[in-house]
Structure formats: structure tokens, C-alpha cells
Amino acid sequence: MLQSTSPVPQHIAIIMDGNGRWAQERGLPRAFGHRAGAERVKEIVEHCSDLGVKYITMYAFSWENWERPEEEIHQLMRLLDEFIRRETPDMLKKGIRLQSIGRIDHLPEDTVQHLKQSIKETAGGKKICLTLALSYGSRQEIVDAVRTVAGQVKSGELNPKDIDERSIQQALYTADYPDPDLLVRTSGELRLSNFLLWQLSYTEIYVTEKNWPDFDIVELEKAITEYQKRDRRYGKTKSTAKESERISLRS
């Protein structure tokens, strides 16, 4: 049961894993698992929005996924394109703002156009920000951030001795978002798979055995309930963590 006295996470990040296994268990081709997985995306985003979650970041296609068979990549791209075109009017109506992180210039040209158009159209959405991680890898993001910072040093805008956590954070694709409070990973794997390595430093992790296509709103609420029981200390003691929480609430 969700606790009304504890806050829901402001930002949830999800590694949507297990589409292939879901299909395999049913004797279906992998593409059916991806399709069933894409159906869940809408339901979970809308329920998060109803619960008051402000940001949701979903790992939809990793940098490493480019190594999959060409046919599977093609199916995933088609699903993504369909999702963007079909859901944009509904996102607009429901106050969902679409964003993306990752090297999207590697996606098919049409899909990039549709994605950019949807990002533009939904820019005024105030209920929740849905960020799709596409052609995304955290190490690649860090490489890109280092290039940005090196450029700032070269141009004289930044002195190397002034490089701090903030300058790096500002150069990441996620510069405008708070770090995730809760990471959900489906299908029982215990790894981060090159997802938001910097941003997840103090995120609470929840792993479920459910495959992504079976992750429904009941499962989402279980994850949030578990999060509400966690004691977040950010490496501090209980009392100093509470004190910094009070200070950050005041400022």
C-alpha cells in the first residue's frame, strides 16, 4: 500500500528489461515482447503522473543495443517511431513533456524528425517529464561531457582549477533534471548496464523478477512503497542527513 504520509519519488528511472524472455516464455518471437513492452510505457508514465512523480527516465535503446541483429534494431526503431507519432496528441492533452537523452543522430532520420517535433509540441507539459534514453550510454555521455568541458577550458571560459562536480553535471545530457530518486530494473538482473552512472550515485535501487511487459501499475506501486520505506542518508549519519534535508527544504 502506498503511504500517503511519505513522498513519492520526484524522479524515477527505469531499466526496462526482459522483453525477449517474456516472448520466449510464450513461444513468441522477440519482436512480440518489444511490442508488449512498448504498450506498458504509456500506462506506467500516466500512472506515475497521477501519483505526482515529476520526472521519469526510461532506457528505451542503449548505445550497446546497436550491436543487436539488424532486424531487431529495425523493429525497435519502428516501435519507437509508432509510439512517438501515436502518443504525441495524448501526451499534449495529459501534460506530458517529452525529452530524450543519448546520441540521437544515430537514429533513423524520420524518427529523429518525429522525435524533435514531439519534443517541440509537448514542451509546455507541466505534469511530468518523460525522458527516453535513446542510443544512450552513460560512458558515452561522460565522454561527451568531457569534450564540452575541454572546449570550455580551451576557449578560456573555464579555468581547470574551477572544474568541480557542478561543471561536469552541467555538461551531462541530464543537466536540466534532478538525479533519480528511485531506479527500477525489471527481469531480476543486478547491474546498471551503462545507465546514468553519474546520476545514480545516491539513487535507491529496486529490482523485480517481473519482465518489463508484466510490470503493471500494481508492480509500480510496490516499487514506490518499497522506496518509501528506505532511509536515505547520502553517506551521512541519520541526524546530519535530516539536517541537510531541512536546509535544502528551507532554501
Instruction: Using the minimum distance from each CB to ligand FPP, give the nearer residue, 135 or 203.
Output: 135
Supply 121's cell numbers: 509540441
Taking the C-alpha atoms of residue 212 and residue 175, their distance in angstroms, rounded to an integer, is 28
Catalytic residue, chosen from 19, 50, 65, 211, is 65
Choosing from 10, 65, 140, 167, the residue that interacts with ligand FPP (CB under 6 A) is 65
Query: Which spans in the chain are helix H?
Result: 19-25, 30-51, 70-93, 109-121, 138-154, 165-171, 217-229, 238-250
Burial of 120 (0-12, 13-18, 19+ CB in 10 A): exposed
* 20 forms part of the interface with ligand FPP (CB under 6 A): yes
Choosing from 63, 83, 206, 227, the residue that interacts with ligand FPP (CB under 6 A) is 83
Part of the chain binding ligand FPP (CB under 6 A), chosen from 78-86, 98-106, 141-149, 230-238: 78-86
Query: Which spans in 29-137 are helix H?
Result: 30-51, 70-93, 109-121
CB of 118 to ligand FPP, least distance (A): 12
* 19 forms part of the interface with ligand FPP (CB under 6 A): yes
**Interface pattern 163-192 for ligand FPP (x via CB under 6 A):** ------------------------x-----
Element (H, E) at 166: helix 165-171
Residues that bind ligand FPP (CB under 6 A): 16-21, 34, 37-38, 41, 60-61, 65, 76, 79-80, 83, 132, 187, 212
